[in-house]
Structure 1
Amino acid sequence: MRIHPPSQKSPLELALEQARASYGTKNPNSFKAFKDAATSLPGGGTRSSIFIHPFPLFIARGEGVEIEDLDGHVYKDFVSDFTSGIYGKTDPVLKKAIVDALDNGLQLGAHTTAESRLASQLCARFPSIELVRFANSGTEANILAISAALHYTRRKKVVVFTGGYHGSVLSHFGEHEGGDLKVPYDFLVCPYNDISATEDRIERHKAEIGCIIVEPMIGAGGCIPGDPEFLRGLRRISTEIGAVLVFDEVQTARLGTGGRQKILNILPDMTTLGKFFGGGFAFGAFGGKKEIMSMFDARSPCAISHGGTFNNSPLTMIAGCTAIEHLLTEEKLGALNKLGDEMRDRLNEVFEKEDLPLRITGLGSINQFHAHASLNDAKPTSKPTSNSSPSPDLMRSILDLLFFSLLDRGYWIAQRGLISLNFAMLENDVRGFEEAVLNSAREIKRAL
């Protein structure tokens, strides 16, 4: 990479300035909508993960694999709503089930048979789930699971991992300007994929630890797959110290009909789910061993109270049942994850061959671009961070330029580099995306 005097802008900085200026010129309607929204919403929105610098696009509609913004630009959607939009934008099976369900009423405020139907389907898919409760998001499910684990063990400490994300108030990305809001649990933060260091830290507090919660693949922290032996080690440690092991499969449940725990044959004590199991509606679920989940049995005089007006929303229950029965099949999930694995392998092969400033990590249909300045830098590994990675500013600039370059080519990804495939995609869609990524990466390399 060329070094430029502090007073002189690098080609990368100039290219990024030009890309942002072009973005602003092409999207006047989105900019106007953003300014209007900012009068009542901080930053013009209510979801930090979808904000785009310098201002976000406002989407008017979606169909199949495509979305259209307020300025009439059409993009192939490779974000898929951060893994939740696995069905594409207009799945006809889901749409019919939802429209039919509307005839029975919006909110019934009571039990329905769809509630127990969805619960039995989830219990059948996940051997770790003997009983399950519903919530309204993955965040809520994880808060409830952690709280239940601490109540069950009568302990206070919660083991989490650097780079982990268990919801909007349960992130562990390290210190950064502004910081994150966190539920005030007594956290013990350990290094992901380092079982030796994790065991050393746990040993000093083992009598206080009531819960160990882990993503089988770090999601928002960079799509870093958990080493199987690391995850098995957590299962062993949890058993030895009497803690509840929680697998957060909110994202990784799409890797197979029983999530990554089934793929690796590891049985946690509890599992949390969310996103796509609501069939397009807000959804969360937490479940596990009978002796833990029975604490919520309202027939007991000592039952834990757990309310939530929309926990069993009829539309969500019907949509979730329909999705599991007709769409989230082993065959369809297998084909989708094969598309993602092959895409990742092909891109990394060219990235390395041409010494391009990108690598991609992930599993199946969930992947993340990572920036680096040269092939001599360390490739993304099973650790969330690398001492040989480019500076944060350089990484951010490379990913920003990739984002704007792909927009110009008609592809929508997350600005931070996340991509997630969906059922509406065909092989040609993925191949076209690969070509756009490689051409964008070559442009970025010329600017370094």
Structure 2
Amino acid sequence: MSAAIDDRRNSLDLPGAVEAARTAYAAKRPLSAALHEQALEVLGGGNTRSVIAYSPFPTSMTRGEDCRLWDLDGHEYLDLCGEYTAGLFGHSEPRIHAVLHDVLRRGINFASVGPGEERLARLLCGRFPSLERVRFTNSGTEANLMALTAARALTGRPKVMAFRGGYHGGVLTFPFAGSSPAALPLPFVMADYNDAAGAAAAAREHGAELAAIIVEPMLGSGGCIPAEPAFLAALRAVADETGALLIFDEVMTSRHAAGGMQARLGITPDMTTLGKYIAGGMSFGAFGGRADVMAQFGGKLAHAGTFNNNVLSMNAGVVAMGEIFTAEAAEALYRRGEALCARLNGLAEAAGVPLGFTGIGSMLTVHFRRPAPGRPYASTPGEEQLRELFFFDMLEAGIYLARRGMVALSLPVGEAELDRFAAAVAGFIEHRAELLRAGGVGG
């Protein structure tokens, strides 16, 4: 066998390439490996957050500055994970640091209302068209649970429509195929994302029992697949027809305009849930909407939570949303992300490989198929291996992103950082072209 033929066969060994990438990754991170072994002795699975776990072990990050991270073994990375959209302000925004230090000097746990709570609520109600009243939680998961509680209580109906491939928190997870054992056993009506006719038909079928329709204006963990405006408009119409409440989960997508995707699209839900970045990196969630819906919490509905209005989140949120993430900043970030996505897709198209990015604004996800998907899908084994390879190749290039291939830009990410990422993607396409053609779909 000639060396050329042997090299050709090796270049098409996708599982072998993934294993080689894992081996190279592990060899450079002995301290992270050792920490993982220690963690396995006291933490179930060796960690306490499934999304950041991967084989052979996750990199342990120890320091961050602006849009950079450093791991336990001393490697520096460009942070394009952006804490899964929660890290919008980067790691060292001085105005957020200043307010947190000031709050800490004045005390932490007061067991009372405070002025920061009212100021943040007023800011959010002024920005998001659907928010007449709002309440705070510790996470987007809690926000969605409370929004569904409010909808079921107001309507007196039990059922909730959700969409395959959607994610509304750790206990509200709806895989495209199958089901999640962690999902709450609520009476869900499942429909297909971006299938307006199918969703409307299902809503009408269950209309007398349907309390809410909950939807992400763009799937987050489901692959940064945008909702078609006509799909969301159809959900608005069928919610009005059946008397169900339309809930937009804008935990992630609220960053795409000053008033979120509801403002950008001109489609106003009955309720909105928020989270992630709004408290400047502190734990945060919020749910709100029509005044009559939210008035239930002054009467028949209780809503507890020791840290709902904690002073760190409330005061950091006032600075984050009142001073830093202005309408102008939101629009500029949106445009940077749109330009990046177009640039990356241009690289793949020029190379003729099955790779592309979907998303809106500052959120995008890589897919190893052409054309780009408009709905959730079941990945092939080859696509899963390419996603793994892309993740490790980006780490090798000093770029940290989500294991599932999602990128979330933070405000400190500038043109130089975008150039660096584009160059890394171009290098991946060039170096892995044969593997892409062998393991990808279409193209």
TM-score where L is the length of structure 1: 0.93
Superposed displacement of residue 10, structure 1: 4.5
CA distance in 2, matches of 1:75, 1:333: 25
State the SS of the aligned residue for 1:127: coil
**1:116-138 Cα deviation digits (max 9, x unpaired):** 11011110011211111100000
**Partner residue in 2 for 1:39:** 41
CA–CA distance in structure 2, aligned partners of residues 337 and 174 of structure 1: 28
| Corresponding position: 1:13 with 2:15 | yes
- The alpha-carbon deviation at position 394 of structure 1 amounts to 0.7
Q: For each residue in 1:32-89, what CA deviation from the matched residue of structure 2 results, as whole angstroms up to 9, or x when unmatched?
A: 0001111111221111111122210001111111100000000000000000000011
Corresponding position of 1:337: 334
* Contact 1:64 1:90 (C-alpha < 8 Å) held by counterparts: yes
User: 1:143 aligns to what SS in structure 2?
Assistant: helix
Cα offset, 1:278, TM superposition: 1.4
Structure 2 counterpart of 1:184, which letter? Answer: P
Q: Contact 1:356–1:442 at 8 Å: present in 2 too?
A: no
Partner of 2:303: 306
Q: Shift in Å at residue 381 of structure 1?
A: 3.0
After superposition, give the CA deviation of every residue in 1:196-244 in whole Å (9 maximum; x if it has no partner): 1111222211111010000011111010101001101100100010001
CA contact (8 A) 1:369 1:418 kept: yes
1:385 aligns with 2:385: no
Counterpart Cα distance in 1 of 2:309 and 2:296: 19
SS of corresponding position for 2:223: coil
Q: Which residue of 2 aligns with 1:254?
A: 255
What CA distance in whole angstroms lies between the structure 2 residues aligned with 1:69 and 1:16? 22
Contact 2:174 2:180 in 1 (8 A): no
SS at match of 1:419: strand
Q: Residue 207 of structure 2 corresponds to which residue in structure 1?
A: 206
Greater shift, 120-129 or 195-204, is seen at 195-204
The 5 A counterparts of 1:22-101 are: 22-101=24-103
In structure 1, the partner of 2:120 is: 118
The alignment of Structure 1 onto Structure 2 pairs a total of residues equal to: 429
Residue 8 (structure 1) shift:
9.7
Cα 1:306–1:267 change in 2 (3 A) is same
Aligned: 1:130 with 2:119? no
Give deviations 1:158-198, integer Å, cap 9, x for gaps: 0001111000010111345x944111110001011111111
Q: C-alpha separation between the residues in 2 aligned to 1:417 and 1:292?
A: 37
Q: 1:350 is matched by which residue type in structure 2?
A: L
Within 5 A, what are the aligned runs for 1:179-190? 179-190=180-191
5+ residue gaps, structure 2, are 1-5, 439-443
Q: Equivalents in 2 of 1:118, 1:330: separation in Å? A: 16
Which residue identity does 1:384 align to in structure 2? P
Moved over 4 A (4+): 7-10
Partner of 1:141 in structure 2? 143
Residue from 395, 400, 407 that aligns with 1:407: 395
Picking from 94, 104, 110, the partner of 1:108 is 110
**Is residue 360–residue 367 contact of structure 1 (8 Å, CA) maintained in 2?**
yes
In structure 2, distance between residues paired with 1:256 and 1:220: 20
Identical aligned pairs, as a percentage? Answer: 40
The residue number in structure 2 matching 1:375 is none
1:352 to 349, 354, 367: 349
Output the CA distance in 1 between the equivalents of 2:331 and 2:291. Answer: 30
> 333-342 vs 139-148, which deviates more?
333-342
Counterpart residue number, 2:242: 241
Whether 1:436 and 2:420 are equivalent positions in the alignment is no
Where 1:226 maps in the other structure, the secondary structure is: coil
- Say if 2:397 and 2:424, in contact at 8 Å, map to a contact too: yes
Counterpart Cα distance in 1 of 2:35 and 2:133? 45
Bigger helix share = 2
